[in-house]
């Protein structure tokens, strides 16, 4: 199908026609005669009325950027072509295949892998949790990612509009709204932890993290309960994200990911080697890799499910938004598997970095969210006390790594809301980004204050950060993923799913049937069962 469109010299006009639901009527797109017919279609006229105001802008964009492409078109079609160009110009695209994988993997790899995964694993008994987690990633996560990719690339718009454009039932837009809401809340509390990382990077550079266990513990509790400092670091982090996001897709997000992801991987491997060489490190490796199934319980399943979705950035339309910038040639299923593998690999590496070191110095791995902030400085200090410079370098590297990982993820969360406000409120991208920055900063400040400075700020007995974390990871993300699977499995016309999966028939569609089975039955059923279990019904 896409080849036929080549007549437009690479213009991805197809997206518009799909966007307005007239794709099927338009198979002969390559021929101008039929193209003229298209203009008669009511939907397009309606579109023009609707977007009169934006069309004006189109003219200018078209004149400025696309003269060469315009020249290939017959003059009588120019008017219609402008609409095409307008929609295309309005959205960015990733520049390369590597950029796509790295940016999406950059979204997936973050504090979820390096901060959340180790403390969840430590808290839920080690290797047994890891096993359940792996099942969740590959059985539920991969089909979930492919589904979001399908919705996103086909819709080629912000999350809400993408969901709405694939069906007549506009209520499915709500899934997109849910995703945007979830990612905004996540960005709020995530930025608090990312802010701690920034502060720790600064502190380790200044050599302030050197001291015994009691000192490090006190350092963390004093810092995290300070009324101002953590709030400022969190807001600083959101601003940092903001400035990458406003630079757009190719210059901002893609370039940052291409630079940061490889650095992250190299740093991680160095620290894993250092950690595994410590005396007594084997116990930590055993803790992570030798399962004790007696530790499995219902809540382990729910936490593993939440962690898997959180770590893959699934269930908030984040991947859907990124997929809207994909190229028509992107192999969706393969990219999904690559991302899941890379994400899991990094989570396991993070486990191999933390547990051997923690066991080596006799620290218990179930300290909760503060694990990497309390135990690790201590580990670095004790483990490398013979050569203090190594300890210093490793700890600076570690916190730099955390900041990089967090940044590529916060960028993706920010992008969901920015794309939404930009396209739905017709606000310039910069202003749209500011709206999100302000909202998230408010959430971040509330979360941060409830961690100590205002202990009365609590919900259901949890501090706000913990509350937001549980609410989103255990309820909102699985709900989003559940609905997305139902949507793609049962609501979206089958030929669209197939066409996206196989890139319009150009790919063989290996595992297509298995994917359909997973997305229609296995994923919704499994997520539903975990929910029932949590509610005590099962
Ligand atoms: N997956 C990221 C991590 O592991 C966090 C993240 C980025 C995320 N975007 C998201 C989580 C969207 C949920 C939804 O750190």
* Rounded distance from Cα 107 to ligand 1 centre (Å): 6
Q: Of the candidates 407, 398, 405, 402, which has an alpha carbon nearest to the alpha carbon of residue 204?
A: 398
Of 19-28, 351-360, 483-492, where does mean pLDDT reach its minimum?
19-28
For residue 308 and ligand 1, the question of a CB distance below 6 A is answered with no
- Closest C-alpha to ligand 1, atom 11: 313
Would you state the pLDDT for residue 281?
Answer: 82
Of 29-33, 303-307, 364-368, 449-453, where does mean pLDDT reach its minimum?
29-33
31 pLDDT band, cuts 50/70/90, is very low
Highest mean pLDDT among 59-73, 326-340, 502-516: 326-340
Q: Of the candidates 173, 146, 513, which has an alpha carbon nearest to the alpha carbon of residue 314?
A: 146
* Rounded distance from Cα 7 to ligand 1 centre (Å): 39
Percent of the chain past pLDDT 90, that is, above it, reads 12
pLDDT tens-digit series, residues 76-90: 344 444 444 333 334
Would you state the pLDDT for residue 9?
Answer: 30
Provide the 8-state DSSP code for 31.
S
Q: Of the candidates 127, 149, 231, 165, which has an alpha carbon nearest to the alpha carbon of residue 16?
A: 165
Average the pLDDT over 262-274 and give the result.
83
457 pLDDT band, cuts 50/70/90, is low
Domain with CATH 1.10.4160.10 in the chain: 97-534
For residue 108 and ligand 1, the question of a CB distance below 6 A is answered with yes
Instruction: Measure the CA–CA gap between 282 and 356, rounded to whole angstroms.
Output: 6
For residue 313 and ligand 1, the question of a CB distance below 6 A is answered with yes
Instruction: Measure the CA–CA gap between 195 and 106, rounded to whole angstroms.
Output: 18
CA torsion sign, 69 to 71 to 73 to 79?
positive
Q: What is the largest CA-CA distance in the chain?
A: 79
- Closest C-alpha to ligand 1, atom 10: 313
Instruction: Measure the CA–CA gap between 427 and 232, rounded to whole angstroms.
Output: 27
Q: Is the pLDDT of residue 49 over 50?
A: no
Q: Quick check: 210 and 381 in contact, CB under 8 A?
A: yes
**Three-state SS for 206?**
coil
φ and ψ at residue 458, rounded to 5 degrees: -140, 155
Mean pLDDT of the chain: 76
Of 10-14, 87-91, 160-164, 197-201, where does mean pLDDT reach its minimum?
10-14
Strands 462-463 and 458-459: what pairing? antiparallel
Average the pLDDT over 209-226 and give the result.
78
CA torsion sign, 466 to 244 to 100 to 421?
positive
187: Cβ contacts below 8 Å, ≥ 6 apart: 238, 241, 410, 413, 414, 417, 436, 440, 443, 444
Q: At what angle do helices 142-155 and 332-360 cross, to 10 degrees?
A: 130
Would you state the pLDDT for residue 238?
Answer: 93
For residue 113 and ligand 1, the question of a CB distance below 6 A is answered with yes
Choosing from 109, 159, 183, 407 the residue with most ligand 1 atoms within 8 A of its CB, the one to mutate for a pocket test is 183
pLDDT tens-digit series, residues 218-251: 888 888 777 888 889 999 999 999 988 887 666 6
The 3-state secondary structure of 85-102 reads: HHHHHHCCCCCCHHHHHH
Q: Extract the runs of DSSP E, i.e. beta strands, from 101-233.
A: none
For residue 304 and ligand 1, the question of a CB distance below 6 A is answered with no
* Rounded distance from Cα 54 to ligand 1 centre (Å): 33
* Rounded distance from Cα 310 to ligand 1 centre (Å): 5
pLDDT tens-digit series, residues 335-388: 899 999 999 999 999 999 888 888 887 777 777 777 788 777 777 777 677 777
* Rounded distance from Cα 311 to ligand 1 centre (Å): 6
Average the pLDDT over 104-112 and give the result.
85
Cβ burial 373-391 (10 Å sphere, 16+ → b, else e)? bbbbbbbbbbbbeeeeeeb
Q: Is the pLDDT of residue 25 over 60?
A: no
pLDDT tens-digit series, residues 120-139: 898 888 888 999 999 999 98
CATH 1.10.4160.10 fits 97-534, yes or no: yes
Percent of the chain past pLDDT 70, that is, above it, reads 78
Choosing from 103, 107, 244, 411 the residue with most ligand 1 atoms within 8 A of its CB, the one to mutate for a pocket test is 107
Task: Give the CA dihedral 391, 397, 402, 408, nearest 10 degrees.
Answer: -170
* Structure token pair of residue 93: 């695209």
* Rounded distance from Cα 361 to ligand 1 centre (Å): 31
* Rounded distance from Cα 109 to ligand 1 centre (Å): 7
Provide the 8-state DSSP code for 170.
G
Q: Is the pLDDT of residue 47 over 60?
A: no
**Three-state SS for 223?**
helix
List, as one string, the DSSP characters of 40-79. Answer: H-HHHHHHHHHTHHHHHHHHHHHHHH-HHHHHTS-GGGHH
- Closest C-alpha to ligand 1, atom 14: 313
Q: Extract the runs of DSSP E, i.e. beta strands, from 384-439.
A: none
For residue 316 and ligand 1, the question of a CB distance below 6 A is answered with yes
């Amino acid at each position: 199908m896409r080849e036929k469109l080549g007549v437009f010299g690479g213009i991805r006009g197809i997206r518009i026609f799909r966007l307005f639901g007239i794709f099927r009527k338009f198979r002969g797109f390559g021929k101008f005669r039929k193209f003229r017919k298209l203009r008669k279609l009511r939907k397009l006229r309606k579109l023009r009325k609707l977007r009169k105001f934006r069309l004006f802008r189109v003219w200018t964009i078209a004149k400025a950027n696309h003269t060469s492409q315009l020249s290939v078109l017959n003059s009588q079609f120019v008017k219609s072509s402008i609409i095409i160009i307008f929609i295309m110009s309005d959205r960015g695209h990733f520049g390369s295949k590597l950029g796509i994988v790295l940016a999406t993997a950059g979204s997936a790899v973050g504090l979820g892998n390096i901060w959340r995964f180790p403390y969840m694993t430590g808290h839920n008994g080690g290797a047994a949790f890891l096993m359940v987690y792996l099942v969740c990633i590959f059985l539920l996560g991969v089909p979930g990612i492919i589904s979001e990719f399908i919705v996103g690339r086909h819709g080629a718009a912000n999350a809400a509009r993408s969901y709405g454009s694939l069906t007549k039932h506009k209520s499915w837009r709500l899934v997109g709204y849910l995703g945007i809401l979830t990612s905004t809340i996540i960005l709020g509390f995530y930025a608090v932890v990312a802010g701690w990382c920034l502060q720790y990077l600064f502190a380790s550079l200044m050599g302030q993290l050197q001291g015994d266990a009691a000192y490090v513990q006190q350092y963390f509790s004093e810092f995290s309960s300070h009324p101002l400092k953590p709030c400022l670091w969190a807001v600083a982090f959101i601003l940092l994200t903001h400035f990458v996001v406003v630079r757009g897709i190719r210059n901002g997000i893609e370039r940052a990911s291409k630079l940061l992801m490889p650095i992250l991987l190299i740093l991680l491997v160095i620290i894993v080697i250092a950690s595994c060489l410590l005396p007594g490190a084997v116990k930590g490796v055993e803790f992570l890799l030798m399962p004790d199934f007696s530790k499995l319980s219902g809540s382990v399943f729910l936490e593993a499910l939440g962690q898997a979705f959180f770590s893959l950035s699934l269930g908030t339309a984040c991947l859907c938004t990124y997929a809207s910038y994909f190229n028509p040639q992107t192999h969706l299923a393969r990219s999904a598997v690559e991302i899941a593998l890379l994400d899991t690999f990094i989570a396991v590496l993070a486990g191999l970095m933390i547990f051997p070191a923690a066991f080596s110095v006799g620290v218990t791995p179930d300290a909760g969210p503060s694990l990497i902030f309390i135990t690790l400085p201590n580990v670095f200090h004790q483990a490398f006390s013979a050569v203090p410079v190594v300890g210093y370098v490793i700890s600076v590297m570690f916190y730099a790594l955390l900041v990089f990982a967090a940044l590529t993820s916060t960028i993706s969360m920010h992008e969901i809301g920015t794309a939404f406000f930009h396209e739905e409120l017709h606000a310039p991208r910069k202003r749209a980004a500011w709206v999100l920055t302000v909202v998230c900063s408010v959430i971040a400040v509330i979360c941060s204050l409830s961690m100590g400075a205002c202990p009365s700020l609590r919900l259901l007995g949890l501090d706000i950060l913990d509350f937001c974390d549980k609410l989103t990871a255990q309820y909102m993300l699985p709900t989003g993923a559940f609905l997305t699977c139902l949507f793609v499995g049962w609501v979206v016309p089958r030929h669209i799913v197939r066409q996206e999966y196989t890139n319009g028939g150009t790919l063989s569609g290996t595992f297509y049937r298995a994917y359909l089975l997973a997305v229609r039955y296995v994923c919704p059923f499994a997520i539903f069962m975990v929910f029932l279990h949590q509610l005590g019904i099962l």
